[in-house]
Structure 1
């Protein structure tokens, strides 16, 4: 009986597994597939621009933006992300690198903003981080890869030697909207698993039905009471004695 109960759970478990796999693919994140190396961390992906070996790099702000090919320059939202940049940089560069940050000073509200026009909640300025002597409209920032400290630099005149591009992780269900083939394959996989589960359940039910039919037609001899057998034997003996 216990084995039958377990067998009946197979279709249900297969359905749950199929649904879980589908949901995992729908909500898992993914980095851009543009031929460059992207490193996932948190909810974002990062491309550390390596450049050519043994050749000093020099990027103006405009050159750095162009290097990212439509993606944003590095924006650091918290201490964990800042630490990630420090720890991963030695795998790409030797020594300290000054990395452009996607940060600018908004003169309309006198505050720093990221290039995607979101507010700045975390900062890690070197020293006080103010009174750089730059015109407010010319204030940008760079991150020192060896310390993680930020420095105010000129947006127009300064040249830095490091670029990190950042992209939000793209959910696969968004990609599926642009890829009918992927959607069809996922749906087909789910249908196949459900179909196999239904076939197993059908044969199991059919086997149970056949077993119950044989059980219903099984011959059972009529019940004979031991008392009636003894009484019949006594009557037979008395008849013999009278004869």
Structure 2
């Protein structure tokens, strides 16, 4: 509630914001609005209430078409004879009591009420999308890390097995027993002698 306007300008201001002039459905909401108004008491004696008089039924209705099941009228504002199409309605900053009076040359604070349906549907549709996107990113990152770890493990395993085969082959060649080589020489010389005798 940063500005004070006439009743018609207040309605236009709230329509531009996508809402209506404040409606109050119960005592708890009345206390909430009143506590907010107390901070602006020096600027305005109250804030407009978004209600109109329905001459056919002789009753008051809120601008957002909800029924008026709660009221907090002052002592002198309860008479049905005071209600008319030319009346305006506001909540008092000092005590949270409702009043009615002439609309001409009167300015009050403006509190706009935005429908909750739009807010809740927006938050409901936004949360699952964000959650799904985050889950996909996390799972993709985990899968990528697992693949990298597997590739590194297989690469190291292959290298170690190749190195082991090479070393064992080299080891068997270089560490042959002198007695084995001597036996091979004897066999070769025996064969040569047999061939010469033949």
**TM-score normalized with structure 1 length:** 0.49
**Does 1:192 find its partner at 2:137?**
yes
- Deviation, 1:66, is 1.8
Aligned residues: 147
CA contact (8 A) 1:95 1:146 kept: no
- For residue 94 of structure 1, give the secondary structure of its aligned residue in structure 2: coil
Q: Does the Cα contact within 8 Å between 1:96 and 1:145 map onto a contact in 2?
A: yes
TM-score, structure 2 as length reference = 0.59
Distance 1:76 1:162 in 2: 15
Query: Structure 1 residues 95 and 185, CA, compared in 2 at 3 Å: closer, same or farther?
Result: closer
Q: Does 1:162 align with 2:132?
A: no
Aligned with residue 67 of structure 1, among 1, 6, 13: 13
Tell me the distance in 1 between the aligned counterparts of 2:36 and 2:19.
Answer: 20
Correspondence for 2:79: 131
* Partner SS state of residue 77, structure 2: coil
C-alpha deviation, 1:199, in angstroms: 6.9
The structure with more radius of gyration: 2
1:102–1:131 Cα change, 3 Å: same
TM-superposed deviation, 1:162: 1.3
2:120 & 2:99 partners in 1: Cα distance? 37
The answer to whether 1:119 aligns with 2:67 is: yes
* 1:164 Cα deviation after fit: 1.0
For 1:34-73, what aligned pairs fall within 5 Å after superposition?
Answer: 48=1, 50-51=2-3, 57=4, 59-68=5-14, 69=16, 70-73=18-21
- Identify unmatched segments of 5+ residues in structure 2: 150-198
CA RMSD of aligned residues (A): 3.5
SS of structure 2 residue aligned to 1:143: strand
Unaligned runs of 5+ in 1: 1-47, 52-56, 204-243
Shift of 1:120: 0.4
Partner of 1:13: none
Match for residue 95 of structure 2 among 147, 165, 177: 147
Q: Is 1:98 aligned with 2:43?
A: no
Contact 1:99 1:144 in 2 (8 A): yes
